[in-house]
Amino acid sequence: MLKRNYTLAGLVVLVVAMVACQRDPDDVVDPTPGSGGGDDVQVDPSSFPLDSLSSYGFFTGPLAQMLPKASVLPYDLIDPLFTDYAHKQRFVWMPAGSKATWVSDDALLDFPVGTMLIKTFYYDGVLPANERKILETRLLYRTSSGWEFADYVWNDAQTEATLYMDGLNVPMSWQDDQGTVHDLIYRIPAQAECWTCHKNQNIATPIGPKPRNMARTLDIGGQVVDQLPHMEQVGYLDPSHPPISQVMARWDDPAEPLEDRVRAYLDINCAHCHSVGGHCDYRPMRFDHAESEDPVQLGLCVPPEDPIQPDMTYIVSAGLPERSMMHFRLASTAVNARMPLLGRTVVHEEGLALITEWIESIDPPCP
C-alpha cells in the first residue's frame, strides 16, 4: 500500500470508525470489439500514483468533459453507494490483451493486474452560478499484491486534478431539480478513510463491481447496451461463465419488492464493513445480498450491543422504526452515531424513508 502522512483530521475520523463502526450520457468512444484492454493508455506500475490525473491520459479533450479514450470503458451500477448526493462517473481501463473474469454473481469481478477503476464525483446546480463542479477523481489500481488508492482533487478552474491523499473538507451549496438549496461539507477522504471502507481481511478491494450489481443497461455514446454482454463483446470480460441468476433490485424502484429493495440498499451502503473480514465484522449483522435473505442477518429482533439509546431495543424492531437502532443511525449525522460513518455527512432522506417503510411493514412485533 502507499505510504502517506495522514492529517490529524483524517486520523480522528479513522479512530472514530474503529470504535463505531447518473451517469450522464457523455459522448464516448467504444473500445475495439474483442480487443480486451488497450494500449492507447500507458501506466508504469512503478510510477503509480502520478502527480496529476491528466498524466494518465485516460481522457481526450478538456479533462472536465471526461471523454474516455478507446480503451477506457464507462460502466455503472444498479445500486450506487450514497455519497452526500454527489453524482458519479465510473470507468475501467485494463492493459492491452487482458480482461476480467467472472467468479460468481455475488463476487467482485476478478480484474487483471494493471486494471484501473476510475470514479469521478461531482455536483450539478452548484451555486451561485448553477453549474457543474467536479470535486475529486478516485483511482483503484490493481497490482500483483492487491489494490492501491489514489485520490485527485480538482482545481477551481476545472482544468486539472492533483494527487492529494490527506483528506479535505469542501463547503458545497447546490440546488436540486426541484429548486431546493442544499448546503453541506463534502468530505474528500484521506487514505486512512479509503482503507477503512475498502479493506477485507486486511487487503484492499473494490466494493461495487459485482455482476449482480452490474446487470443493467448503459448509454454509451448514445447507444443503449446491456452492460455485461457489452463488456464481453469489447473484450473486457471473459464470456466463459454461467448465466447470471442473481440480480440486485433497484432500491429506489417502487415496482420492486420492498424487502429486495432494502437488501440492495444495505448491501451497497453497509455490507463492505458489515461482512466477514470487513471493518465491522465483529457486529452480528451481515448485510451482503448473498447473506441477507434471513432477516435476522439484517438485525431483525437482534438486541444492539451499544447502549447509545436505551429505548432502542433492537437493531430492527418490527413495526417500530423509532425503537430501531438501524433507523436511529441512518437518521443521525453525529460522527459517533451515524451509519455509514464515512462517505456521508447528511441524512439520505430517500434511503431513510425506504428503511422506515420496511420496518413499519414487519409483523409480528419482536418479543
The last residue of one of the domains, among 199, 233, 267, is 233
Question: Can you give the pLDDT at residue 29?
Answer: 39
Q: Number of helices (H) and strands (E), helices first, in the chain? A: 6, 14
* 126 pLDDT more than 60: yes
Query: Does residue 199 share a domain with residue 52?
Result: yes
Question: Can you give the pLDDT at residue 37?
Answer: 58
Which of the pair, 335 or 120, is modelled with greater confidence? 120
Question: Can you give the pLDDT at residue 314?
Answer: 94
| 173 within a domain of the structure (yes/no) | yes
Q: What is the pLDDT of residues 50-97, one digit of tens each?
A: 999 999 999 999 999 999 999 999 999 999 999 999 999 999 999 999
Q: What is the mean pLDDT of the chain?
A: 87
Query: Does residue 95 share a domain with residue 214?
Result: yes
| 51 within a domain of the structure (yes/no) | yes
| 250 within a domain of the structure (yes/no) | no
Location of C-alpha cell 480522528: 12
pTM of the model: 0.87
Query: Does residue 314 share a domain with residue 277?
Result: yes
* 25 pLDDT more than 70: no
The three-class DSSP label of residue 259 is helix
Q: What is the pLDDT of residues 246-267, one digit of tens each?
A: 899 999 999 999 999 999 999 9
Which of the pair, 187 or 39, is modelled with greater confidence? 187
* 362 pLDDT more than 90: yes
Query: Does residue 267 share a domain with residue 228?
Result: no
Query: Does residue 58 share a domain with residue 140?
Result: yes
Kindly give, in sequence order, each residue whose CB lies less than 8 Å from that of residue 171, ignoring residues fewer than 6 positions away. 183, 184, 185, 186
Question: Can you give the pLDDT at residue 176?
Answer: 94
Query: Which residues span the domain enclosing 301?
Result: 258-361
Count of alpha carbons within 13 angstroms of residue 79, beta-carbon side:
26
| 308 within a domain of the structure (yes/no) | yes
Question: Can you give the pLDDT at residue 95?
Answer: 93
* 276 pLDDT more than 90: no
* 363 pLDDT more than 80: yes
| 93 within a domain of the structure (yes/no) | yes
The three-class DSSP label of residue 342 is coil
Count of alpha carbons within 13 angstroms of residue 155, beta-carbon side:
10
* 2 pLDDT more than 70: no
Question: Can you give the pLDDT at residue 282?
Answer: 75
Cell of 265: 440498499
Confidence bin at 38 (pLDDT 50/70/90): low
Query: Does residue 119 share a domain with residue 19?
Result: yes
Q: What is the pLDDT of residues 313-343, one digit of tens each?
A: 999 999 999 999 999 999 999 988 889 888 8
Q: Dihedrals φ, ψ of 54, to 5°?
A: -65, -25
Query: Does residue 47 share a domain with residue 128?
Result: yes
Question: Can you give the pLDDT at residue 45?
Answer: 75
Cα 283 from Cα 275, distance rounded (Å): 9
* Mean pLDDT (whole number) for 214-229: 93
The last residue of one of the domains, among 233, 249, 280, is 233
CB 344 within 8 A of CB 83: yes
Confidence bin at 159 (pLDDT 50/70/90): very high
Question: Can you give the pLDDT at residue 24?
Answer: 40
Number of domains in the chain: 2
Query: Does residue 316 share a domain with residue 197?
Result: no
Percent of the chain clearing pLDDT 70 (strictly above): 89
Question: Can you give the pLDDT at residue 39?
Answer: 63
| 177 within a domain of the structure (yes/no) | yes
Query: Does residue 210 share a domain with residue 278?
Result: no
Query: Does residue 142 share a domain with residue 60?
Result: yes
Cα 317 from Cα 333, distance rounded (Å): 21
| 247 within a domain of the structure (yes/no) | no
Cα 117 from Cα 110, distance rounded (Å): 12
